[in-house]
Amino acid sequence: MSGAIKPAQRAPGAARGQGARGLPDERLDRLAAEHLNMKHILQQLSSMAYNFSSLPAEQATKELSSLLEQFDNELLPHEHDDEEQLYPSLVDYLKGDDPLGALSHTHRELFRMIGLLRHMNQQLATQPSNVDLKEIQILLIRLDTLLALHFSLEEELYQTLDLR
Ligand SMILES: [Fe+2]
């Protein structure tokens, strides 16, 4: 499944990392706004990672479905767009052979973990007695750590491309 993502490639013949080049202001503002608009998802994920297994089963099921819905409607389209549209357009601003390789790896991990969470959510709906809420909580903790790291690495990167 993770093989579907190709590394962001520099166009043939394009210069690599041409020093002090910045992204246009309006693009930087849009990137910042997109992350800001998704902070509520990070907050919800963090709070569920903290107490998920102590929630009553019915509430746990409801909250997990609501989180996945927000992933589907907001987070996943954003992250796919980062990987498929944004990253290839950033490569020429950066030095190194594969400057976005590590960040692309975090995208793949995010997609994998969310797929796993979706599977667990389906099990919770159909065979709740076979599901251990603690196991889901461990996955939520890992996802929370990864997503917070991913956002902060991207924000750090965009700052280096902000010459204002
Ligand atoms: Fe991203």
**Cα distance between residue 66 and residue 95, in whole Å:** 40
Phi/psi for 96 (5° steps) reads 95, 160
Residue 54 CA, ligand 1 centroid: distance in Å: 31
**Cα distance between residue 87 and residue 84, in whole Å:** 7
Residue 2 CA, ligand 1 centroid: distance in Å: 15
- Those residues whose C-beta lies under 8 Å from the C-beta of residue 87, and which sit 6 or more positions away, are 8, 100, 103, 104
Residue 123 CA, ligand 1 centroid: distance in Å: 28
Q: Considering the entire predicted model, what is its pTM?
A: 0.86
User: Along the 164 residues of the chain, how does pLDDT read in single tens digits?
Assistant: 445 566 676 555 444 444 568 899 999 999 999 999 999 999 999 999 999 999 998 899 999 999 999 999 999 999 999 999 999 999 989 989 999 999 999 999 999 999 999 999 999 989 988 899 999 999 999 999 999 999 999 999 999 999 98
Residue 107 CA, ligand 1 centroid: distance in Å: 6
**Cα distance between residue 71 and residue 140, in whole Å:** 13
Residue 83 CA, ligand 1 centroid: distance in Å: 7
